[in-house]
Amino acid sequence: MTLYRARVSDTPVSPFSGGTLRADSDAGLLVEAGTITERGPFAEVAARHPGEDVVDLRDGLLVPGLVDTHVHFPQVRVIGALGMPLLEWLDRCALPEEARLADVGYARGVAADFVSGLVRAGTTTALVFGSHFAPAVEVLFEEVRRVGLRVTTGLVVSDRILREELLTTPDRAYGESRALAERWHERGRTRYAVTPRFSLSASDAMLDACASVVKDVPGAWFTSHVNENLAEVESVRELFGDSDHYVDTYDRHGLVGGRTVLAHNVHATDDELALLAAQGAAVAHCPTSNSALGSGLFPLRRHVERGVRVALGSDVGAGTGFSLFKEGLQAYFMQQLLRDEGLPLTAAHLLHLATRAGAEALGLGDTVGDLSAGRQFDAVLVRPEPGSTLEVGLRHAADDADAVAKLFALGTPGDVAQVWVAGECVTG
Ligand SMILES: [Zn+2]
């Protein structure tokens, strides 16, 4: 057992439904075999457990492990290509790099860079877009297991439109997906996600194959892209016909449900939002990506008012880095820019979107997402350099909410001092 003494902020109850920031300036968290078994004022917990090893973390701010619900493994090395809309960026930047992962040695290097990027940003749980190549997905799973993160990922499948070497057939996609799921689904902290790139590059036959994998792998997740960019939405309409909205192209194969996470949904219709809410699907909002590619301003208010679950994704490499502090800040900016149509976000909203909302979107709400007793100890210690602007800000914060606002305004991976998953330190 270990007793952690820390300044803790988390959001066990959603601020979108009346919850507020929960902040303790001197909390005691008793951790046994990776699980928080007691939480309370440090003096009280310590009095109940005299002689317990105490780890004093009060020189930083402890928050729950961050949850990234949309991030691309093969794109870590192409972050930062600016100045292109989605389809041009895919052709000129992302897909040539994705093709390089055919070489498993190259993929192994990318996997190390990718997982290290997540850890350094304080991300402990992620829904990851894998590679088009099964051996590359295998090495990603191996690296994730070696480091200890909670990751749900899978083979990305497509059978049209993309460059030739990224295409496969429905039969092959089914076989390779089943084989990967056999080895990695619900093994330790890894799970399998059925992952067509987007319906633009996946025929009905391919989406049928995806549905078969979902059916044949109990508990498998489903993720893809939807309504990201107007030219993309228009191309999907031309391919599938006017009668269907983009979400329908997945739903008619039975792929929209409680274990579905669709990225972006910037250009959603009311019918699509109603369908997502009714089926219990979640949306990964990726604000720096949407900004960098000029995809649009995310209609968060319409999602929330219609009951669609929303969490944050970094969308590396169109997104500009792994930090969910930056994504939270950019989400805030977007809602400000939407003025009357926006949903003003507080610091508690940002922390919730980056932690608890992600855990719930990934079906892990009973396991992680806040630092209550009963949860796994997945946590991030933010401890900025003395004299840095964030350190000055935290030292002079007016209150706990102000401290969390400063964390999102100024926090970077460089401020992440230590990260734990299930009580194990993964930052070495
Ligand atoms: Zn994406």
Q: What is the mean pLDDT of residues 150-172?
A: 97
- pLDDT, one tens digit per residue, over 251-288 is 999 999 999 999 999 999 999 999 999 999 999 999 99
- pLDDT tens digits along 312-359: 999 999 999 999 999 999 999 999 999 999 999 999 999 999 999 999
> 0.95 cut: is pTM over it?
yes
| Ligand 1 mean position, distance from CA 316 (Å) | 7
CA of 224 to the centre of ligand 1 (A): 8
Q: What is the mean pLDDT of residues 388-405?
A: 97
Measure 49 CA to ligand 1 centroid, in angstroms: 47
Quote the ligand 1 centre to 376 CA distance (angstroms).
28
User: What's the 178 CA to ligand 1 centre distance in angstroms?
Assistant: 23
Distance between Cα 402 and ligand 1 center (Å) = 32
- CA dist 240 → 27, 85, 223, 235, 343 (Å): 55, 22, 19, 9, 33
Query: How large a percentage of the chain has pLDDT more than 90?
Result: 96
CATH code of 66-337, in short, is 3.20.20.140
- 266 with 278: CB under 8 angstroms? no
Span from the CA of 36 to the centroid of ligand 1 (angstroms): 33
Distance between Cα 200 and ligand 1 center (Å): 13
3-class SS of residue 187: strand
pLDDT at 243 > cutoff 90: no
**Per-residue confidence band for 416, with pLDDT thresholds at 50, 70 and 90:** very high
Residues with CB under 5 A from ligand 1 (ion): 263, 315
Centre of ligand 1 to C-alpha 297, Å, is 16
What's the CA-to-centroid distance between 42 and ligand 1, angstroms?
42
- Determine the distance separating the centroid of ligand 1 and the alpha carbon of 76, expressed in angstroms: 12
Contacts of 352 (CB under 8 A, 6+ apart): 11, 14, 15, 16, 19
Average pLDDT score over the chain: 97
421 SS3 class: strand
pLDDT at 428 over 90: no
Neighbours of 248 (CB within 10 A): 18
315 alpha carbon – ligand 1 mean position (Å)? 5
Contact 419, 64 (CB under 8 A): no
Fold (topology level) of 2-64+369-425: Urease, subunit C; domain 1 (2.30.40)
Angle at 208 between CA 92 and CA 161, to 5 degrees: 20
CA distances 266 to 82, 85, 199, 286, 389, Å, are 19, 14, 16, 9, 33
Tell me the pLDDT band of 113, cut-offs 50, 70 and 90. Answer: very high
What local confidence, expressed as pLDDT, does residue 240 receive? 85
**Does position 242 have pLDDT exceeding 70, yes or no?**
no
Cα 336 to ligand 1 centre (Å): 24
**CA 72 to ligand 1 centroid distance, Å:** 6
Q: Bridge partners of 121?
A: none
Reported in sequence order, the residue ranges of 148-220 that DSSP labels E, i.e. its strands, are 150-154, 156-157, 190-196
As given in the structure block, the two tokens for residue 311 are 């969490």
Report pLDDT for 402. Answer: 98
Q: How far, in Å, from the CA of 388 to the mean position of ligand 1?
A: 33
The CA 211 to ligand 1 mean position distance, Å, reads: 20
* Domain ranges, ordered by start, for the chain: 2-64+369-425, 66-337
Distance 307 CA to ligand 1 centre (A): 23
List Cα–Cα distances, 230 to 127, 248, 266, 282, in angstroms: 25, 17, 9, 21
186-227 pLDDT per residue, tens = 999 999 999 999 999 999 999 999 999 999 999 999 999 999
